[in-house]
Amino acid sequence: MDYVTITDHDTIAGALEIAHLPQVFISEEISAYFPDDRCEVHVLAWNITEKQHEDIQRLRNNIYDLVPYLIQHDIPHACAHPLCPANDKLTINHVEKLILLFSVFELNGARNDVQNEALRSIVAELTPTMTAQFEEKHNVASLVAQPWNKYFMAGSDDHSSCNIARSFTRITPANDLEQDNTLPAAEDLLRDVMQGNTTVNAVPATPLCFAHNLYAIGYQFYKNSTELAQDIHYSSALRFAENMLTGAPELKPMSVKTRMMTLAGVLLRFGRGRRTTEKSMQANLLEAAEQVIALSPQLQNAAAEINTIQALANLPQREEMLTHFVSDVTEKVQHICVDAVLEDILKGNFFNVFKLIGSIGSLYALLAPYGIGYSLFSKDKKFAETCLRHYGIRNHMRPSMAEETAIAYFTDTYCEVNGVAKSLQVTLSLAAMHGKKLNMLTCMPQGTNTFLNDPKLAPINFAPTGSFTMPEYPELSLHHPPALKIIQHCYTQGYTLLHSVTPGPMGLIALLAAKMLNLPIHATYHTSFPQYVYRLTDDHSLEEAAWRYIFWYYNQMDAVFAPSEATRQDLIARGLQPQKIHVYPRGIDASIFTPSWQRSDGSKERQIKFLYVGRLSKEKSLHLLMEAFRRVYSQVPDAVLTLVGDGPQFTELQKLAKGLPIKFTGYLDGQALIQAYENADIFVFPSATDTYSRVVLEAQAAGLATIVSGVGGPKENIIPNESGIVVEQENAEAYAQAMLSLARHPERLQAMKRAARSWAESRPLKSAFMAQWQMFEKLKSQSQVA
């Protein structure tokens, strides 16, 4: 470097340590404040004296005193990252005042480049008329001669020595250099900066860059305050860290004796050879890091025992490499921790469970640099977009900064056989049909996706780091999502709204992503999970624990969508704010069903055909249906019952059906399911735990009279005593009486079947989707304003 200076925050101590060297001048970055609201802004001041530093520290609490002082003493200065909220108080009014106070703005190399682009766009639009309006609006006189003319300089804002000259300013001296190439004086070069004789160069920063800096700072501090340096030559993971996280790695070859001594020290310190569950988190991380490096030639090269600063000179590539490394390591250790928790639960070692859960928490804390990076960059982007919208600047906006709604659904269920998964598949198809930007994010093992032949139904899948199968639901598994990869995807895709479909692992990642990316988040309450827990366990304490989790989770949302008013009231009764909960429209495509009276087969069977479609499990109250049908059959010998579906009660229900005309079809889909509906007369759905039940609407679309429970959401999907019957008493006799009332009165049955079809036709699927999308957009706008 021709000249060296240090611009530290509100101190010149570092600069003074090298001030005796030639071609060094003293500078600082000043934390200044607007006096009325304490909004913090940063000001770069170069080539100052110790006395001027003391004056600056005295004046910096009032920016209207500080800037005149800098001008009066001819101190070169610039407003650093003017669109970056230093203490979250920055507004457009402050930006306009900064335009009146400064002639030079910094383009910052460590924060979101969207800020720099927005700043350039705003400056390009400035006119004498605009700046005069600013003066009148804020009652602030401009301190620069032509406030509509701005100059730029760039700086890396590097705090780790890993990004030196990532951004830099090239100065073109106003006066040509002398023939002997004498170096211009520092004050002359800085005067050129103030006069705009500069060009700026930068490699745009990303959240990955920001996280890289934080990891580097942490690593350098830890290395300098511990004995870590002696282990670097033994461990490829530590050599990798040395090369990636220091500005100038120094790795010298070691003797065999030293290498053996180092090996012994590392084995002793990190606990190699112990059982995985007994190792420290540090040991697990180190071991996982070694494994990840061993599987990647690229990482092996980055961990080579040579000075690789040139090999890692491509900054974006280096940051992506580090991100993949951190992600892979945390995924491996997460899997180890989860397996250890499950192992201890099975052994009854519950105290170890709490210890390991704490370890998992510390594991995710290691991802904090990315969380901070994504959060800050998202805030930067949001404020930049606000400024551009305020000034009506749209032509300069990136596509990712467009205002069009782009939604990401997060779901733990998509390819499984259940109503939620089917509804999601339909939603994704309708979004594609209407040209809406909607992606379905899932976490499933490879090979689970069954929709590869239909692009409209294919989700964006993230391979899980591990899985856990629930005993009561062997076909349903909870998969552990790769958090960092999903958050990075959301950031790069530019979603404007996140929507959680399930409160499981993917739902938690949705909440984490929303917090990190400063995005609004909505959620749908599809399943009465606490009621399911009680029906499956008969344990009220577990049900209450489930409700506490449900309240905590949905209380984090900006909006909650309930599929029925009954569900909405349940959530309100549990403490959720009524204004936050919305009943959203649902629909059905009735055209795919052909009711019996529309078919031309001429068949007139004497049988009365009852039908159930859904999961065969305890929470569906199918024991009531079986007993009710037994009573009906004793009085209506031509009655038959078909159960479509599968589940853990399949074998038990078959035993209960012995001696009765009950058919079990197993799971049906597509045309086979449609035919099952069309061949029936009466649909019976006794579940008291469903929040909506799509099958009730499907049955009515097929022209079936419907009998449902008086508890839960399905009763809102019929017109009581017109398209169906609501059974208020949860007992077999009540269901038997409802079934008999239709079986014994053909005229009433036929009238109800036709009413059911009309009711379904009045709720077209496409209209329901568009109404729901409009609700999303309206509520998103409200949450952004709030």
Alpha-carbon distance 764 to 590, whole Å?
7
Give the pLDDT confidence of 462-518 residue by residue, as tens digits: 988 877 665 555 555 678 888 889 999 999 898 999 999 988 889 989 998 998 888
pLDDT value, residue 6: 92
Give the pLDDT confidence of 266-285 residue by residue, as tens digits: 333 434 444 444 556 667 77
Give the pLDDT confidence of 304-317 residue by residue, as tens digits: 755 444 545 678 88
The SS3 call for residue 161 is: coil
pLDDT value, residue 414: 85
Asked if residue 401 has pLDDT above 60, the reply is no
Segments of 338-453 assigned E as strands = 406-410, 437-442
Torsion of CA 658, 663, 669, 670, to 10 degrees: 180
Q: Which residue blocks in 538-617 are alpha helix, DSSP H? A: 540-555, 565-573
Query: pLDDT over 90 for what percent of the chain?
Result: 47
Give the pLDDT confidence of 43-58 residue by residue, as tens digits: 999 999 999 999 999 9
Query: pLDDT over 70 for what percent of the chain?
Result: 82
**Cα angle 662, 665, 667; round to 5:** 140
Confidence of residue 638 (pLDDT cuts 50, 70, 90): very high
Instruction: Annotate 675-691 with b (16+ C-beta within 10 A) or e (fewer).
Output: ebbbebbbbbbbbbbbb
Asked if residue 258 has pLDDT above 80, the reply is no
Asked if residue 703 has pLDDT above 90, the reply is yes
Instruction: Annotate 312-343 with b (16+ C-beta within 10 A) or e (fewer).
Output: beebeebbebbbbbbbbbbbbbbbbbbebbee
What does the DSSP 8-state code read for residue 764? B
pLDDT value, residue 135: 96
Asked if residue 612 has pLDDT above 70, the reply is yes
Could you please report the per-residue DSSP string of 368-391? Answer: HHHHHHHHHHHHHHHHHHHHHHHT
Helix and strand numbers, DSSP H then E, in the chain: 28, 23
Confidence of residue 361 (pLDDT cuts 50, 70, 90): low
**Residues 6 or more apart from 478 whose CB is under 8 A from it?**
412, 467, 468, 469, 470, 504, 505
The residue among 786 and 421 whose pLDDT is bigger is: 421
Q: Is the pTM of this model over 0.95?
A: no
pLDDT value, residue 630: 96
pLDDT, mean of residues 155-172: 87
pLDDT, mean of residues 662-668: 94
pLDDT, mean of residues 603-607: 67
pLDDT, mean of residues 213-224: 84
Positive or negative: CA dihedral 134, 139, 143, 146: positive
pLDDT value, residue 779: 84
Confidence of residue 527 (pLDDT cuts 50, 70, 90): confident
Tokens 């059905």 correspond to what residue? 588
The residue among 231 and 324 whose pLDDT is bigger is: 324
Alpha-carbon distance 736 to 740, whole Å?
6
Q: Can you say how many angstroms the Cα of residue 162 is from the centroid of all Cα atoms in its chain?
A: 28
Range ranked top by mean pLDDT from 16-20, 216-220, 537-541, 712-716: 16-20
Give the pLDDT confidence of 713-756 residue by residue, as tens digits: 889 889 999 999 999 988 999 999 999 999 999 999 999 999 99
Question: In the structure encoding, which two tokens stand for residue 526, read together?
Answer: 């599809």
